[in-house]
């Protein structure tokens, strides 16, 4: 699966500044990262860990080419169902997969989907980034920040959440994307 535009997948690689010298995991191959973390995820049981114990390899492979492999728990099964059945028109790009892949990924997403209150109502366009909780949590992020070249959109979690590809969104694992003033929040 290739990316929808040259800068897209590598987009986050515009080297945002990393606070406190943490490793820039964006550069790592997603597959390696996910595989590695499957074995570690049980250990990190923080309140903002959304990584399932066992991430489906096909999901990491097919759904993390253009953006981070979003944690299934951040959307309801209904939302995932609409997403996997509408891949030919996926947020303006064609992310089609064959029927067998859709079936495998779809079943896995359904089983790992969030069932708790905050994800019960499907957000507009089934976007995690338009969920009420997301808007609330990010209310102090200036709208201009989302449009920085180093961020691109709220959907690019990894621009700020260093460990988003591991399902970790703790507010202590944040970086300041290039161009964003420190102390913005
Ligand atoms: C060819 C590139 C590509 C592939 C492959 C791809 N996506 Fe996406 N996806 C996008 C684009 C582009 C967006 C919109 C990003 C933005 O608004 O910045 C998006 C957005 C999303 C969003 C909404 C993000 C938000 O909260 O705003 C979800 C959920 C999502 N994709 C799930 C998936 C799943 C599941 C798969 C695998 C079946 C997948 N994507 C594969 C390109 C892709
Ligand atoms: C432009 C940077 C940026 C992007 C992109 C971004 N976030 Fe955040 N996020 C933040 C900041 C900053 C906070 C802390 C907000 C605060 O404390 O006021 C935060 C907080 C959070 C929290 C709450 C963490 C806690 O400890 O309470 C979650 C969960 C979260 N983000 C998930 C996501 C997800 C999922 C995405 C992608 C779909 C995303 N974020 C994209 C900057 C970003």
Distance of CA 152 to the CA centre of its chain: 13
Ligand 1 mean position to 184 CA, how many Å? Answer: 27
Contact 12 CB / ligand 2 (< 6 Å): no
Q: Which atom of ligand 1 is nearest to the CA of 152?
A: 18
Token pair of 42 as six digits: 């049980």
Q: Which atom of ligand 1 is nearest to the CA of 87?
A: 38
pLDDT at site 183 = 58
Instruction: Per residue of the chain (185 residues), give pLDDT as tens.
Output: 333 233 333 333 333 333 333 333 333 333 333 333 333 333 333 456 787 767 899 999 999 999 999 999 999 999 999 999 999 999 999 999 999 999 999 999 999 999 888 898 899 999 999 999 999 999 989 889 999 999 999 999 999 999 998 889 988 888 888 777 665 54
Q: Whose CA is nearest to atom 10 of ligand 2?
A: 138
Cβ atoms of 154 and 134 within 8 Å: the answer is yes
Token pair of 44 as six digits: 């990190």
Q: Which atom of ligand 1 is nearest to the CA of 129?
A: 26
Q: Which residues contact 18 (CB under 8 A, 6 or more apart)?
A: 24, 162, 175
């Amino acid at each position: 699966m290739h990316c929808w535009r040259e800068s897209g997948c590598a987009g986050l690689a515009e080297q945002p500044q990393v606070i406190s010298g943490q490793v820039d995991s964006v550069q790592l191959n997603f597959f390696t990262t996910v595989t590695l973390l499957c074995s570690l995820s049980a250990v990190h049981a923080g309140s903002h860990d959304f990584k399932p114990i066992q991430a489906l390899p096909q999901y990491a492979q097919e759904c993390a080419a253009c953006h981070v492999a979003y944690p299934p728990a951040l959307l309801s099964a209904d939302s995932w169902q609409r997403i996997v059945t509408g891949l030919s028109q996926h947020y303006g790009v064609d992310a089609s997969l064959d029927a067998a892949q859709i079936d495998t990924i779809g079943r896995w997403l359904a089983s790992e989907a969030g069932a708790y209150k905050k994800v019960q109502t499907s957000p507009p366009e089934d976007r995690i980034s338009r969920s009420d909780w997301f808007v609330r949590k990010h209310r102090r992020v200036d709208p201009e920040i989302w449009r920085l070249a180093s961020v691109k959109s709220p959907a690019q979690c990894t621009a700020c959440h260093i460990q988003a590809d591991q399902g970790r969104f703790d507010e202590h694992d944040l970086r300041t994307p290039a161009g964003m003033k420190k102390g913005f929040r």
